[in-house]
A = this chain, B = another copy of it.
Amino acid sequence: MAKGKNDRLMAIRMIIATRDISSQDEILGELKKRGFSLTQATLSRDIKELQIAKVPDGRGNYRYRIAPNTVMRQASQAEPLNTGSDLIRNCALSLEFSGQIAVLKTRPGYASVVADMVDKSQNDGIMGTLAGDDTVLIILRSTAQKQDVVYGLSRMLPNIGSKVIE
């Protein structure tokens, strides 16, 4: 099972989203369980590339998390869109609207990745997004139509339409 670097990066994201991890050696152990072969040095480089950080959790411990600085972006400043993997595409769990706000629930740890995709979906109705760990808050422009927003999102998240809570 010769897995490429990209699979490894996705696996790292999944691991830190799923488990309470506080050192790179722990991540390394999880990766090896999953059949990856690498050293801690490479992992450190991967983590840098993924913008993952070791963050104090406020309860006396540390935890690896996807970088805070990808948390919020203005939709209009987005770059051209990028396909992304199925793994990412399928991690949107639900979408619910309330006035000019929409709340998009994701699998734990994926919110910032999904928020990034939402920003890149070039949707005029979206003013900006804010991502936590498993929730993306989407701020709509006052002129936005709910249907148009859902349609726009569906370009990046194909089956989002079926996840809308009415």
Contact = CB atoms under 8 A, between A and B. Distances in A.
A68 interface: yes
A123 interface: no
A18 interface: no
B65 A56 contact: no
Interface stretch (A26-34, A79-87, A101-109, A149-157): A101-109
Interface string A83-118: 000000000000011111101010011010000000
A67 B48 CA distance: 16
Contact of A142 (B48, B52, B98, B140): B98
A46 B25 CA distance: 25
A58 interface: yes
Contact size range, A: 35 or more
Contacts of A68: 53, 55, 65-68, 71, 132-133
B53 A58 contact: no
A62 B100 CA distance: 36
A98 B132 CA distance: 21
A66 B132 CA distance: 13
Interface of A: 47-58, 60, 62-63, 65-74, 96-101, 103, 105, 108-109, 111, 127-128, 130-135, 137, 139-142
20 contacts: A48-B56, A51-B57, A53-B55, A53-B56, A55-B68, A57-B69, A63-B69, A67-B68, A68-B132, A69-B134, A70-B133, A72-B134, A72-B135, A74-B135, A97-B142, A98-B140, A99-B99, A103-B127, A130-B137, A137-B139
